[in-house]
């Protein structure tokens, strides 16, 4: 799993200079885990029936901030702090 495009704010365009690997994701998870809640994954039989497939939702609203943004922001802060 590799995401190879990022928005470069200095260049104001997409670039593929920063490749995010699965290992990067696991490292980020380890770094932020002491500070964020482990959120449940929930399902909806109503939506499952509507789309004809099983649908899963990550309930990030249980984070202290009420959104998933805490994970990315915290990881960015920790990366820059540890450098």
Q: Helices (DSSP H) in the chain: which residue ranges? A: 22-32, 45-51, 69-82
Check: pTM over 0.75? Answer yes or no.
no
* Confidence (pLDDT) at 37: 83
Name which residue leads in pLDDT, 30 or 81. Answer: 30
35: how many CB neighbours lie within 10 A of its CB?
13
| CA neighbor of 18 nearest in space, from 4, 37, 34 | 4
Cα–Cα distance measured from residue 19 to residue 54, given in angstroms and rounded to the nearest whole number: 31
Q: Is the pLDDT of residue 2 over 50?
A: no
CA distance 1 to 19: 10
pLDDT tens digits for range 6-60: 555 555 554 555 677 888 888 888 998 898 888 889 999 999 999 999 999 988 8
């Amino acid at each position: 799993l590799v995401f190879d495009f990022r928005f470069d704010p200095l260049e104001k365009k997409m670039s593929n200079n920063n490749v995010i690997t699965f290992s990067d994701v696991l490292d980020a998870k380890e770094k932020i885990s002491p500070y964020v809640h482990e959120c449940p994954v929930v399902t909806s039989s109503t939506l499952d029936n509507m789309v004809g497939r099983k649908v899963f939702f990550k309930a990030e609203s249980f984070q202290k901030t009420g959104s998933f943004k805490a994970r990315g922001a915290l990881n960015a802060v920790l990366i820059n702090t540890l450098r």
